[in-house]
């Protein structure tokens, strides 16, 4: 059983719901997930991370993710981490999924290995955000299966 830390950044609940749906699907397969609704770097014990975050305001991180981002900023070496990011955003804003992109860049800058490009889910699309993320899940599980743990 492979362990995945699911780090949630959610202001209004959409990203949290998507993360819960992804966790349910992953738990039904060969993975064991650990949801972090109030993420803390010290609680992320396993090297596989899935960040699911919305963008709030003018491209900002959701409030619940801010302390975690501050911890990442102060951390020097995350080379043991392999990650993927799912962004939930609204393409009618010029800051569309900026928090997800910024989070991926921060993790990469700290030495973490990005497994896949950021999945940018648009709430303006006809598909529900969780359906778009679940459709992407086989691509993620393939990469997670190849990841070193």
Domain extents for the chain? 2-144
Backbone angles phi, psi at 80, to 5 degrees: -80, -10
Provide the residue count of the chain: 149
pTM over 0.85: yes
Task: Work out the number of other CB atoms within 10 angstroms of the CB of residue 146.
Answer: 9
Give pLDDT, residue 1. 76
Tens of pLDDT, residue by residue over 30-81, are 899 999 999 999 999 999 999 999 998 888 999 999 999 999 999 989 999 9
Q: Which CATH number fits domain 2-144: 1.10.1240.10, 3.40.50.360, 3.40.50.720, 3.40.225.10?
A: 3.40.50.360
More confident residue, 29 or 84: 84
């Amino acid at each position: 059983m492979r362990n995945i830390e699911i780090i949630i950044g959610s202001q209004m609940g959409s990203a949290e719901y998507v993360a819960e749906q992804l966790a349910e699907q992953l738990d039904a397969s060969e993975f064991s997930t650990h949801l972090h609704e109030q993420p803390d770097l010290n609680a992320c014990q396993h090297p596989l991370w899935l960040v699911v975050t919305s963008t709030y305001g003018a491209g900002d991180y959701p409030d619940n993710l801010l302390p975690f981002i501050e911890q990442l900023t102060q951390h020097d070496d995350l080379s043991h981490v392999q990650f993927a990011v799912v962004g939930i955003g609204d393409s009618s804003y010029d800051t569309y999924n900026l928090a997800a992109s910024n989070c991926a860049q921060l993790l990469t800058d700290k030495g973490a290995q990005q497994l896949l490009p950021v999945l940018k889910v648009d709430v303006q699309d006809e598909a529900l955000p969780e359906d778009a993320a679940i459709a992407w899940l086989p691509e993620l599980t393939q990469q997670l299966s190849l990841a070193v743990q």
